Chain A
Amino acid sequence: MVNLTIDGKQVTVSKTATIYEAAKEAGVDIPVLCYAKKLLPFGACRVCLVEVEQMKGRLIPACTTPATEGMVVTTNSDEIAKVRKTVMEFLLVNHVLDCPVCDKGGECDLQDLTYDFEVNSNRFEGVKFDLPTDEVNPLIERNMNRCVLCGRCVRVCDEIVAYGSYSFINRGFETKIATAFDRGLSCEFCGQCLSMCPVGALLPRPFKFKARPWQLKEVDSVCGYCGNGCTVTLGCKDNQVQTIRFNDKIGVNDGNLCVRGRFGYSYVNRDDRLTTPLVRKDGQLVEASWDEALDAVSSALKDGKAGILSGARLTNEELFLLKNVAKTASASLDHSGGECYKGVTEGLQETLGLASSTGTFPQVEDADVILSIRSDFYETHPVFGMVVNQAVKRNGAKFLVLSDKTGKFNKLPDAQTLLTKPGLEVNVLNAICAALLESGQAKTDGVSGVDEFKSALADYAPAKVSAQTGVPVEAITAAAEQLAGAKKGAILLAYGLPYTAQSKELAIAAANLAILSGLAAQDEAGLYICGEKANSQGAIDLGILPGDGLGAQEQLAAAAKGDLDLLYVIGEDPMTSYPDGAKVEAAINGAKMVVVQDLFLTPTAEQADVVLPAASFAEKDGTFTNAERRIQRVRPGITSPGEAKSDFEIFTSLLGRLGAQVSYTGPQAVFAALAAENGEYAGIDFDAIGPQGVVWGGDKLAPKQQVLVSVSGLQPVEARFQLVTGSALYHSGTTSTRAKGPRAVIDEAYVELGREDAAELGVATDDQVTVKANGNTVKLKAKVDNRLPKGVVFVPNHFAGTGLNKIYQGAASVAVEVTKG
């Protein structure tokens, strides 16, 4: 710690603090322009100049100068004011004065500082910038005439997003921020740069001329897409979400978002949202009253054999009510296709005695060794991915990626890619365990099952696995060594509907490795199990599981046989998203009655007998639990269209109709009830869930046990081509395909091929390609790039009507025929 004096105030700060940070601590505000809390010090603008008694004769930039013992700092004097004002005058020489037509007006740092320093005229004169605006992409407008060259966009895209879209080019007056060859922006469109821009040089195009910042109602909530659980501040006006506001003050994401969170909100405003209940009459879905629709659903629930399939984007409170509905009606209940989460949780229970991540996201920022299972992790959980970027780029973490394709993660500095043939991740994880045991580096204190495990690993000697998977032996042994040497290591594994294959085996193999490398027993970080949807963890915590009833796949099978009177699907479009679409279709045809509760008339809803219009995340009050066990508040920014009701209200009405005794006043009351029933949530008070949420079980969840369990991997698929599916960065589940932002980047499914295969087939991007397997055909446009090794093709699983799930039936990879045309 160091002690210093700032404007006469004594302050003690950490050795790493800058003068600016020390001043902040002392409650002294120093103006800044190029400084940003989450970026490394840069010192480009000189707005933050201060006087330091020990460094007389010149002014010192507060944002880059470390605070040292005994420093005496003055942050305001006539001299300082004069210099700061001059800096502003310089900036305003070339800056166009666009304020009346600039969307940043009202929250522009340049505007504010100009006002603060009373820069009413300019002693200097010069040419105004006159550069064309970059509008080649649909989401971010770049108007470099407004740029003050603070470099925040350049730095955030490099330091945090690790994409590197921008840099300074040219010099002197001509200096500007440019993309490669100045050809315009084309990137992952996370929008971090526009959230960092202090002026109106980078602006969200979908929000252009929609509102002035002070006209917006700001509501802090949680992103409704993935299990990352990023804070989103809804900017609402005219009962619509107009934009997502920058907010780095609360939540776990430091103001970072991905393209889905930042630009994917617009589906909630769509005109084709369901606004009234629909009931099928004479073969047609026609508008009906809530009473009619709910009576139909409740009598089917009461009288017959019912199965309920939920999605994982309902709030905890809604899931709790749903569970009560199922219990009251003795219906079977499951969520998200069943298989995808079930294997993972069972596997973790058997090994570590828990069903969640052990650490928090911020703990990964200074992890020393990170293993990502699948490079798709960046696609499924991009903002956690940005934490990994920082760990690797800024803090030098060793980074291992075990994956069947390359991608963003593999490009991080010194990333070690263990590139395996598809579906063989378990084999490689087993081999790393074998290498740990063989070399004597394995940590086996307090671990049970070691001997059985050892003998079961005979088939997974690194050399053997190497031959099978294509991962070099040295890469396997090096990975073992690095993980064994980790002081604060992290293993990341995502699960979800497109990743159902071997999910139990994968969870066990990852847990085995976490145990043997000592990661599971560490004080921080450890094993991260990240669900696909916003409340996947909540669904597991609340037990939206089959119990004694039928699981999702059993429900489908029963329905197909005509053994189910009611199939009730909530917040999910199984016709599109579940593996094995034929099975879903058979179930929908076979069930006596199908009820779908959703925002849109999805392909599943089109087949339903009753459709209930539900509310989006932006219309809800309650909580989500993210993939690091953080319970966070979801708050309504707008009201639902027409007669649509929240799942909360719908389940409450159903419970009433089913004759349940208890009724709840609101989400607080339900949360209290669910906390009373669920040990992990016990003692947490809904109203006390603060801006950082509450991580149930504490920042580090110690494993209840450490049991090694042997698991088998797969044999490689031998075929000229094999297909894998998964998540594309720009989409999450099927919902984002109805949002303008993500659609503006990718608006249809595609078949991704590596260059070598594409050349052999004579296929170029956008040519039509046919993928055939087990008698089914998928015809899509090609996308050719460098991600995929020879013989592997990828189709994202988000889009309706592609027929992908006729081919993808849940296997890790599928042998397919690929032809042009």
Chain B
Amino acid sequence: METVNQTTGKDVLLPDDTIEAFRAKAADTPHPRELIVDLLRAIQDHHGWVPDAGIELAAQTLGLSPLQLEEIATFYDKIYRQPVGRKVIHLCDSICCWTTGGEQVAELLRDKLGIGFGETTPDGVFTLLPTCCLGACGDAPAMMIGLTTYGRLTAEKIDTILREIRQQID
């Protein structure tokens, strides 16, 4: 995956053919705003997070104003407008999870990772963020990493999850 252009030395936010594909799709839909989340996620998958230049690129690709992208990018907390670790843990911070030990889970995660909410581990692997209800209330307490939701969290389960992810990354 090329993230830096060899000739310009600039960050590559998204490969040209992907941009072109989005441009074509946008031209084809009556409401290009529908594509905002997909495009921002694509940039994020490629680049790790979405810098201002990513918002501008997305706006230009979809024929929208940067602000029309920004309102969604900042509302939707799975889009990262700041650099994050390679994996972001979204720990649910809503009512069902609170009543099933969510606060203890938070404590555990902070301990194990050695970081607080909003921080990234020194090795750059994990960022820990609180999030509102993941819609996994039946499996509370829950957290989400990437596109995977993990429920009924216990200390052992968390250990396994973190270990497995670290292994995958290495």
Partner of A169, one of B52, B65, B74: B74
Chain A window 7-36, contacts with chain B (Cβ cutoff 8 Å), 1 for yes, 0 for no = 000000000000000000000000000000
* Closest B residue to A176 using CB positions: B74
Chain B window 57-83, contacts with chain A (Cβ cutoff 8 Å), 1 for yes, 0 for no = 000000001111011001101000000
Query: Nearest 8 pairs between A and B by C-beta?
Result: A167-B71, A169-B74, A180-B67, A180-B66, A167-B67, A170-B74, A171-B75, A164-B65
How far does the Cβ of B67 sit from chain A's closest Cβ, in whole Å?
A: 5
User: Which residues of the partner chain A approach B74 to less than 8 Å between Cβ atoms?
Assistant: 169-171
The reply on B55 being an interface residue by CB < 8 A is yes
* Closest A residue to B75 using CB positions: A171
Name A residues whose Cβ lies closer than 8 Å to a Cβ of B. Answer: 164-172, 178-181
Say yes or no: A171 contacts B77, CB within 8 Å: yes
* Closest A residue to B73 using CB positions: A169
User: Which residues of the partner chain A approach B55 to less than 8 Å between Cβ atoms?
Assistant: 181
How far, in angstroms, from A168 to B66 measured CA to CA in the complex? 13
Besides A180-B65, A181-B70, 13 other A-B contacts (C-beta < 8 A): A164-B65, A164-B67, A165-B67, A167-B67, A167-B68, A167-B71, A169-B74, A170-B75, A171-B74, A171-B75, A178-B67, A180-B66, A180-B70
Indicate the member of A166, A167, A168, A181 with the most B CB atoms within 10 Å. A167
User: Which residues of the partner chain B approach A172 to less than 8 Å between Cβ atoms?
Assistant: 132
* Closest B residue to A174 using CB positions: B74
Question: Mostly helix, strand, loop or mixed at chain B's interface?
Answer: helix
What are 14 A-B residue pairs whose CB atoms fall within 8 Å in the complex?
A164-B65, A164-B68, A167-B67, A167-B70, A167-B71, A169-B70, A169-B71, A169-B74, A169-B75, A170-B75, A172-B132, A179-B67, A180-B65, A181-B66
User: Which residues of the partner chain A approach B132 to less than 8 Å between Cβ atoms?
Assistant: 172
How far does the Cβ of B12 sit from chain A's closest Cβ, in whole Å?
A: 21
User: Which residues of the partner chain A approach B52 to less than 8 Å between Cβ atoms?
Assistant: 181
Count of B interface residues, CB-CB < 8 Å: 12
How far, in angstroms, from A328 to B146 measured CA to CA in the complex? 88
Name B residues whose Cβ lies closer than 8 Å to a Cβ of A. Answer: 52, 55, 65-68, 70-71, 74-75, 77, 132
User: Which residues of the partner chain B approach A179 to less than 8 Å between Cβ atoms?
Assistant: 67
* Closest A residue to B66 using CB positions: A180
How far, in angstroms, from A167 to B68 measured CA to CA in the complex? 7
User: Which residues of the partner chain B approach A167 to less than 8 Å between Cβ atoms?
Assistant: 67-68, 70-71
How far does the Cβ of A310 sit from chain B's closest Cβ, in whole Å?
A: 44
User: Which residues of the partner chain A approach B70 to less than 8 Å between Cβ atoms?
Assistant: 167, 169, 178, 180-181
User: Which residues of the partner chain A approach B68 to less than 8 Å between Cβ atoms?
Assistant: 164, 167
User: Which residues of the partner chain A approach B65 to less than 8 Å between Cβ atoms?
Assistant: 164, 180
How far does the Cβ of A721 sit from chain B's closest Cβ, in whole Å?
A: 28
User: Which residues of the partner chain B approach A169 to less than 8 Å between Cβ atoms?
Assistant: 70-71, 74-75
* Closest A residue to B71 using CB positions: A167
How far does the Cβ of A161 sit from chain B's closest Cβ, in whole Å?
A: 13
How far does the Cβ of A42 sit from chain B's closest Cβ, in whole Å?
A: 15
How far, in angstroms, from A577 to B55 measured CA to CA in the complex? 43
How far, in angstroms, from A180 to B132 measured CA to CA in the complex? 26
How far does the Cβ of B77 sit from chain A's closest Cβ, in whole Å?
A: 7
How far, in angstroms, from A412 to B107 measured CA to CA in the complex? 52
How far does the Cβ of A225 sit from chain B's closest Cβ, in whole Å?
A: 29
Count contacts between A and B, CB distance < 8 Å: 32
How far does the Cβ of A410 sit from chain B's closest Cβ, in whole Å?
A: 13
User: Which residues of the partner chain B approach A164 to less than 8 Å between Cβ atoms?
Assistant: 65, 67-68
Indicate the member of A165, A171, A172 with the most B CB atoms within 10 Å. A171
How far, in angstroms, from A274 to B127 measured CA to CA in the complex? 68
How far does the Cβ of A181 sit from chain B's closest Cβ, in whole Å?
A: 6
How far, in angstroms, from A171 to B74 measured CA to CA in the complex? 7
User: Which residues of the partner chain B approach A180 to less than 8 Å between Cβ atoms?
Assistant: 65-67, 70
* Closest B residue to A179 using CB positions: B67
User: Which residues of the partner chain A approach B75 to less than 8 Å between Cβ atoms?
Assistant: 168-171
How far, in angstroms, from A168 to B67 measured CA to CA in the complex? 9
How far, in angstroms, from A181 to B70 measured CA to CA in the complex? 7
How far, in angstroms, from A164 to B33 measured CA to CA in the complex? 15
How far does the Cβ of B131 sit from chain A's closest Cβ, in whole Å?
A: 11
How far does the Cβ of B101 sit from chain A's closest Cβ, in whole Å?
A: 23
How far, in angstroms, from A172 to B131 measured CA to CA in the complex? 12
User: Which residues of the partner chain B approach A181 to less than 8 Å between Cβ atoms?
Assistant: 52, 55, 66, 70
* Closest A residue to B52 using CB positions: A181
How far, in angstroms, from A169 to B81 measured CA to CA in the complex? 12
How far, in angstroms, from A178 to B75 measured CA to CA in the complex? 13
How far, in angstroms, from A718 to B52 measured CA to CA in the complex? 42
How far, in angstroms, from A780 to B132 measured CA to CA in the complex? 56
How far, in angstroms, from A172 to B132 measured CA to CA in the complex? 10
* Closest A residue to B74 using CB positions: A169
How far, in angstroms, from A167 to B132 measured CA to CA in the complex? 22
User: Which residues of the partner chain B approach A171 to less than 8 Å between Cβ atoms?
Assistant: 74-75, 77
How far does the Cβ of B56 sit from chain A's closest Cβ, in whole Å?
A: 9
Indicate the member of B67, B71, B75 with the most A CB atoms within 10 Å. B67
How far, in angstroms, from A171 to B70 measured CA to CA in the complex? 12
How far, in angstroms, from A378 to B50 measured CA to CA in the complex? 36
How far, in angstroms, from A374 to B67 measured CA to CA in the complex? 28
How far does the Cβ of A184 sit from chain B's closest Cβ, in whole Å?
A: 13
User: Which residues of the partner chain B approach A170 to less than 8 Å between Cβ atoms?
Assistant: 74-75
How far, in angstroms, from A229 to B41 measured CA to CA in the complex? 49
How far does the Cβ of B40 sit from chain A's closest Cβ, in whole Å?
A: 14
How far does the Cβ of A769 sit from chain B's closest Cβ, in whole Å?
A: 28
How far, in angstroms, from A271 to B41 measured CA to CA in the complex? 58
How far does the Cβ of A785 sit from chain B's closest Cβ, in whole Å?
A: 16
How far, in angstroms, from A164 to B63 measured CA to CA in the complex? 14
How far, in angstroms, from A168 to B68 measured CA to CA in the complex? 9
User: Which residues of the partner chain B approach A165 to less than 8 Å between Cβ atoms?
Assistant: 67
How far, in angstroms, from A179 to B77 measured CA to CA in the complex? 19
How far, in angstroms, from A136 to B71 measured CA to CA in the complex? 21
How far, in angstroms, from A179 to B67 measured CA to CA in the complex? 7
User: Which residues of the partner chain A approach B67 to less than 8 Å between Cβ atoms?
Assistant: 164-167, 178-180
How far does the Cβ of B82 sit from chain A's closest Cβ, in whole Å?
A: 13
* Closest A residue to B132 using CB positions: A172
How far does the Cβ of A416 sit from chain B's closest Cβ, in whole Å?
A: 15
How far, in angstroms, from A282 to B21 measured CA to CA in the complex? 77
How far does the Cβ of A398 sit from chain B's closest Cβ, in whole Å?
A: 16
Indicate the member of A168, A179, A180 with the most B CB atoms within 10 Å. A180
How far, in angstroms, from A599 to B126 measured CA to CA in the complex? 69
How far, in angstroms, from A154 to B66 measured CA to CA in the complex? 15
Indicate the member of B55, B65, B132 with the most A CB atoms within 10 Å. B65
How far, in angstroms, from A169 to B65 measured CA to CA in the complex? 14
How far, in angstroms, from A628 to B70 measured CA to CA in the complex? 41
User: Which residues of the partner chain B approach A166 to less than 8 Å between Cβ atoms?
Assistant: 67
How far, in angstroms, from A180 to B71 measured CA to CA in the complex? 9
How far, in angstroms, from A418 to B77 measured CA to CA in the complex? 42
How far does the Cβ of B118 sit from chain A's closest Cβ, in whole Å?
A: 13
How far, in angstroms, from A164 to B66 measured CA to CA in the complex? 10
How far, in angstroms, from A165 to B132 measured CA to CA in the complex? 29
How far does the Cβ of A414 sit from chain B's closest Cβ, in whole Å?
A: 10
How far, in angstroms, from A181 to B68 measured CA to CA in the complex? 11
User: Which residues of the partner chain B approach A178 to less than 8 Å between Cβ atoms?
Assistant: 67, 70
How far, in angstroms, from A166 to B70 measured CA to CA in the complex? 10
How far, in angstroms, from A181 to B52 measured CA to CA in the complex? 7
User: Which residues of the partner chain A approach B66 to less than 8 Å between Cβ atoms?
Assistant: 180-181
How far, in angstroms, from A172 to B94 measured CA to CA in the complex? 13
How far, in angstroms, from A168 to B70 measured CA to CA in the complex? 9
How far, in angstroms, from A170 to B72 measured CA to CA in the complex? 8
How far, in angstroms, from A172 to B66 measured CA to CA in the complex? 21
How far, in angstroms, from A167 to B74 measured CA to CA in the complex? 11
* Closest B residue to A183 using CB positions: B52
How far, in angstroms, from A167 to B52 measured CA to CA in the complex? 16
How far, in angstroms, from A169 to B79 measured CA to CA in the complex? 13
How far, in angstroms, from A170 to B70 measured CA to CA in the complex? 9
